[in-house]
Copies of this chain bind each other. A is one copy, B any other.
Amino acid sequence: MATIDDVARAAGVSISTVSYALSGKRSIKESTRNRVLDAAAHLGYLPNASARTLAANRSQIFAVTAPLHPDTDHSAHMVFAMEVTKAARDLDYDTLLLVHNDALDGMKRSAATSLADGIIVLDVDAHDPRADLARQLACPVVFIGVPEDTTGLVCVDLDFEAAAALAVDRLVAAGRKRIGLISHPEETLSRESNFPLRFLHGFERHVAELGIEHVEITPRTHRGLEAVEDVLDAMPDVDGLVLNTNVDVASSVGAALALHGKSVPTDVSVIAAGVTFSTARFPVPFDTIPLDAHASCSAAVEMLARIVETSASLPETTLIPPTYIDQGSVAPAFGHAPTPAR
């Protein structure tokens, strides 16, 4: 591999001139800079990563910890890892993958050896041990997800409470008056994943504010059928349904409703909210308020880069406002003149 010496020799300048010409950190006369650039291009020169890192004390690498729980949706995980990687590349960082059984060790190691300039934490639990570790580490850390105690942390996530409120608003705007919420199965909640609770709170608060009749159920199985039946048992004339649940449950809700003689969107209008998957290929696609991996990941990566590069101190929690994707699963209730949605 060509080194900076080769380039310097080829361009007839000193190595510091090459370095400055390439980094732009000091002004170099146009003509010499061009000579340097040409020489570098000719030789296919790329600076040695470790030498650069050692000298500049910056590796241009972010580590990503992506734990795999038994109930983890691998597919969603991959999407997040990929989005982080893409966003990082856009800012000239590479991405190191840290696996679960190694998550804490990996974080310590990549910080202590200066392997990574910063760490992105995925799939955050309410009482995530990585939160405590992050507080001790000298290395900047950004969480995609929000643990219970955010003191001293930097977190990015969808505003789940606002997403829940938006879902309710949309249904109410369509004249829906009896709204069911299908939440995540017990096993996800019990792992103390945080966002289902935040969604639930947002939902409860908002239906209370609006005085809307409602019911919340936690699926006993990974199928939509039982979940829908639980909703119908509790509220036979339900006319609006919010799904903040996993793909297995959500994908079979449409069929379950049909089985009970409820048509979507006429009898029951449905919105999937705070979910990572697309419902576009479901038998019945639903309006969706997505947990947008791209939005969360690029925001998180940009914040991390800012912290690394400017030593900025950022607000503890950044909530990304929800967006709405219309797929035709919400329609005005019979005899209802639609009011403008917020």
Across the interface, do B97 and A46 meet the contact criterion of CB distance under 8 Å? no
Across the interface, do B1 and A114 meet the contact criterion of CB distance under 8 Å? yes
Q: For residue A64, which residues in chain B have a CB less than 8 angstroms away from its CB?
A: 97
Across the interface, do A82 and B54 meet the contact criterion of CB distance under 8 Å? no
A259 within 8 A of B: no
Cβ 8 A contact of A51, one of B54, B75, B99: B54
Chain A 44-75 interface 0/1 with B at a Cβ cutoff of 8 Å (1 = within): 10111111111000010100101010000111
Output the nearest chain B residue to A86 by Cβ-Cβ distance: B99
A234 within 8 A of B: no
Across the interface, do B113 and A85 meet the contact criterion of CB distance under 8 Å? no
Chain B CB count within 10 A is highest, among A61, A78, A82, for A78
Q: For residue A102, which residues in chain B have a CB less than 8 angstroms away from its CB?
A: 86, 89
Given contacts A89-B102, A99-B82, contact A94 B115 (CB under 8 A): yes
Chain A 88-114 interface 0/1 with B at a Cβ cutoff of 8 Å (1 = within): 010000111111011000000110111
Across the interface, do A85 and B97 meet the contact criterion of CB distance under 8 Å? yes
Across the interface, do B99 and A85 meet the contact criterion of CB distance under 8 Å? yes
A4 within 8 A of B: no
Q: For residue A98, which residues in chain B have a CB less than 8 angstroms away from its CB?
A: 85
Across the interface, do A113 and B48 meet the contact criterion of CB distance under 8 Å? yes
Chain A 11-48 interface 0/1 with B at a Cβ cutoff of 8 Å (1 = within): 00000000000000000000000000000000010111
Across the interface, do B49 and A59 meet the contact criterion of CB distance under 8 Å? yes
Across the interface, do B81 and A114 meet the contact criterion of CB distance under 8 Å? no
A262 within 8 A of B: no
A38 to chain B, nearest CB (A): 18
Across the interface, do A68 and B54 meet the contact criterion of CB distance under 8 Å? no
A77 within 8 A of B: yes
Output the nearest chain B residue to A81 by Cβ-Cβ distance: B97
Measured CA separation A74–B85 after assembly (Å): 15
Across the interface, do A46 and B94 meet the contact criterion of CB distance under 8 Å? no
Given contacts A95-B96, A96-B95, A97-B97, contact A115 B81 (CB under 8 A): no
Chain B CB count within 10 A is highest, among A1, A54, A59, A113, for A113
Give 10 A-B pairs besides A46-B113, A94-B96 with Cβ atoms closer than 8 angstroms: A44-B112, A46-B112, A49-B50, A49-B115, A50-B54, A78-B81, A81-B81, A82-B97, A85-B97, A85-B98
